Amino acid sequence: MPISVGDHIRKKRLQLGLFQREAAGRLGVNDWTVLNWEKGRTEPPVMAMPAIVGFLGYDPFPSPQTLPGWLLAKRREMGWSIKKAAESVGVDHGTWANWEQGRVVLYRRHRVLIAKMLGLSFDTLDEEMTARWNRLHGVNSKPRVGDSQRSSS
C-alpha cells in the first residue's frame, strides 16, 4: 500500500508502463522531480497537486475531518499557496496559516466565506468555532444556574 505521494505516483506510473520522463511530461515537471518524489527525497508542492490528482485519478490523501484539514484539502485541490488561499477570502496569509493550524476563525464574515468555499453549512462551521472558542477559554456552554433569573431582572 502506498504511503507517500511519491509512492502513489510510482505505483500509477508502473501500472501505466511509463518511464519517469513520460510521467513527468504528464505532470508538467522534469524527470528528476518525479525521481525525487518517488524516492522520498522531496514532497510535491501544493501547486503540483491538481496535476498529481489528475494523473492518479484520485486524491492520495485521507479525507479531512476538521476545518484545518478541509482548508488544506481545498488548497491542494486548487493548487493554491497559502497566500493565494488567503486572498480568496480577503485575509492575510498569516491568518489563513493560523486557521490551518487549528486556530479559531473569529469573524462571522470569514466563517460565511469559508463555509461557502468549502461547501459546508454555515451553522455547522459556526457551532464548531464557538465550541472551540469556549474550550480554549474555559467557557461552559451550558447556562449556569441563575442565569435566566439575572436576565429577567
Rounded mean pLDDT of 19-45?
Answer: 97
- Domain count within the chain: 2
- Kindly state whether residue 128 falls inside one of the protein's structural domains: yes
Report pLDDT digits (tens) over 58-115.
999 999 998 999 999 999 999 999 999 999 999 999 999 999 999 999 999 999 999 9
pTM assigned to the model: 0.81
Full domain range(s) for residue 18: 5-56
CATH number at residue 9: 1.10.260.40
Q: Which of 46, 25, 33 is nearest to 6 (CA)?
A: 33
Query: According to the model, what pLDDT value does residue 1 have?
Result: 67
CA distances (Å), 25 to each of 50, 95, 124, in order? 14, 36, 42
Indicate whether 113 and 76 sit together in one domain.
Answer: yes
pLDDT at 146 over 60: no
